[in-house]
């Protein structure tokens, strides 16, 4: 098991926002976390990244206890995240943003190879290497956020709402690229409001409600689950 979360509790001040979350992700999987706003999906990702400290439970990644490590060491361990809202550096160029993702790597040849792979994945970024990131469209900024996260050559890529605010055609393109990234050997945990698209992409899923996992299973089973269809798929 690549990632194993056991009885995870997270508090913001006096409020507990994750209540005994347990989930696992095998190497090579795409696993999606579904739920309404405030369900605890992003907090789960932030806990894995080390940006939020658990108040209880364990996060085991590739045999290591992540909950005991600072965030920068978690990147070294093989995890990177493309955050909600993209968070690109608008006054830097596309290439400068991309290069920032390689801060743990000293091998210049490896950096160049990874950057070329990212430009192959996202040709639009290759065309705009010298353009300021703040002038990109929302879809292009999302591509850049994912590309930057890939520069550390992660074993596990965390994606938080990659389709947020994007036109359907761009959503399809982003999701196709996530599938390509996964086929290249990168395991993916995906937080996504577009439940239907996420379940068509993922192998398995977990449904969170008010900080608890209420359902989990194979993606195809969740797609046909009446509770999921009513709550997240518009009954379709």
Backbone angles phi, psi at 186, to 5 degrees: -95, 125
Q: What angle do CA 35, 49, 84 make, to 5 degrees?
A: 50
Domain boundaries defined on the chain: 1-78+154-236, 84-152
Q: How far is CA 220 from CA 18, 55, 79, 164, 196, in A?
A: 26, 33, 27, 23, 10
Residue 63: the pLDDT is 93
Q: How far is CA 165 from CA 3, 134, 162, in A?
A: 29, 16, 9
Residue 93 is classified by DSSP as: B
CA dihedral 184, 58, 212, 46 (to 10 degrees): -60
Name the token pair of 185. 């050997």
Closest by Cα among 218, 216, 174, 221 to 194: 174
Any bridge partners for residue 191, and if so which? 33, 160
Burial zone of 214 (CB within 10 Å; 0-12 exposed, 13-18 middle, 19+ buried) = middle
Residue 85: the pLDDT is 66
Per-residue pLDDT 10s for the chain (236 aa) are 999 999 999 999 999 999 999 999 999 999 999 998 889 999 999 999 999 999 999 999 999 999 889 998 999 999 999 887 668 877 899 999 999 888 777 888 888 999 999 999 999 999 999 999 889 888 889 899 999 999 999 999 999 999 888 888 888 889 999 999 999 999 999 999 889 999 999 999 999 999 999 999 999 999 999 999 988 876 54
The CATH number of 1-78+154-236 is: 3.40.50.300
Any bridge partners for residue 173, and if so which? none
| pTM above threshold 0.75 | yes
Could you count the other beta carbons within 10 Å of the beta carbon of residue 39? 22
């Amino acid at each position: 098991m690549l990632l194993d979360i056991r009885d995870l509790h997270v508090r913001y001040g006096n409020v507990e926002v994750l209540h005994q979350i347990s989930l696992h992700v095998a190497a090579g999987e795409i696993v999606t976390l579904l739920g309404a706003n405030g369900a605890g999906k992003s907090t789960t990702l932030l806990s894995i990244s080390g940006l939020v400290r658990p108040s209880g439970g364990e996060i085991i990644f590739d045999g290591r206890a992540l909950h005991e490590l600072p965030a920068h060491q978690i990147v070294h361990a093989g995890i990177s995240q493309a955050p909600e809202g993209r968070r690109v550096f608008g006054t830097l160029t596309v290439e400068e943003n991309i290069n920032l993702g390689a801060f743990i790597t000293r091998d210049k040849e490896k950096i160049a190879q990874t950057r070329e792979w990212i430009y192959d994945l996202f040709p639009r970024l290759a065309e705009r290497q010298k353009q300021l990131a703040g002038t990109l469209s929302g879809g292009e900024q999302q591509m850049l956020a994912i590309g930057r996260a890939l520069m550390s050559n992660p074993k596990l890529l965390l994606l938080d709402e990659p389709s947020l605010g994007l036109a359907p055609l761009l959503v399809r393109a982003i999701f196709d690229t996530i599938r390509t990234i996964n086929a290249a050997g990168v395991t993916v945990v995906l937080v996504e409001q577009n439940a239907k698209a996420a379940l068509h992409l993922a192998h398995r899923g977990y449904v969170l409600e008010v900080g608890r996992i209420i359902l989990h299973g194979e993606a195809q089973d969740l797609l046909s689950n009446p509770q999921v269809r009513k709550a997240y798929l518009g009954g379709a």
